[in-house]
Amino acid sequence: MKLFFNLFGLAAAGYLGYMAEPSLRFQLTGHQPSASENARDKTVILELPGQVPQIDLSSLTPEQLPQKVLLKTDVKVTDAASGTTLLMQAGNRVKLVRIEGGNAVVSPGEGPFSGLTPVTETDLFQQLAASPPTPKTTPEAPPAAETPVPVVPATGDSEEPAKAAEPPPVPEPAPEATPAPEPAASTAAKSMDIPDASPAPGAAAASAGSDELIAAMQTSIKAGQIKEFTFEQVQEWKAEANETVDGETYQTGLASYQAETIFGTKTIQAKALVKGGKVQRWIWPKSGMEIK
């Protein structure tokens, strides 16, 4: 019994410490908890005029929430795998992933970066007021199939026995088509498994273009166009396919470099957008955000 009370006391103390941690932090360390920490355990209720009952925001599914929200304050987003942190500035429309307590989980787009901000620091309420979420509907069960009632023919001395139904005629199989003989030259080449030695059109031009693309990427890093990494950190240079970004078509390439993160040494990739033989800008491959 004494062991039970000890375990109960430890659990209660842990729960109270978790709930009171934001308010106690300032008293113990002098650091105020962030807005997202204050909102993490809050329940936000949406009350729309003329609509009953009230709606708990955390109960809404992604289909009932708007796809994007407008930020009213700066938000830091982090890639948990690499430890890289980016800053999304106020005034940007970002992807709304889900609701956690009183916070909105947001992301700059499709990618590993995500962060927390209070729902009150977005335009979520205004969007839901303008377009209330549709209630979730339970699909109706399909009607049960009726069981056919067997019909038993009446029997009697005056009735003739029913004639057995004749089987339908079996169609005769169509004659098989005889394949046309292959040309002699093609058959010989197939039997000897001789590969086509002719080069693909434009192969030499693609190789030369790749060398010029990589040279432009190396020149950009040596010149210090960005400060995220140096020429010595790069482990691999690689040419990629052309891409259209903001209506402009660029040659693209990847630079794989090593960097020290909170998870140890990681290999990170940066994408170069090249036009006219020069790197116009560097971006993160997944999020598309510019690297400074």
From CA 21, how far away is CA 28, in angstroms rounded?
10
The pTM (predicted TM-score) of the whole model is 0.39
Dihedral of alpha carbons 18, 22, 26, 27, sign = negative
Q: What is the pLDDT of residue 194?
A: 35
Residue 32 has pLDDT above 60, yes or no: yes
- Coil vs helix vs strand at 275: strand
Residue 181 has pLDDT above 60, yes or no: no
Residue 226 has pLDDT above 90, yes or no: yes
- Residues contacting residue 239 through CB under 8 Å, at least 6 positions apart: 209, 210, 213, 214, 251, 252, 253
Average pLDDT over residues 150-177: 54
Residue 188 has pLDDT above 50, yes or no: no
Q: Return mean pLDDT, the chain.
A: 75
Around Cβ 213, how many Cβ atoms within 10 Å?
A: 21
Nearest to 63 by CA among 139, 133, 137: 133
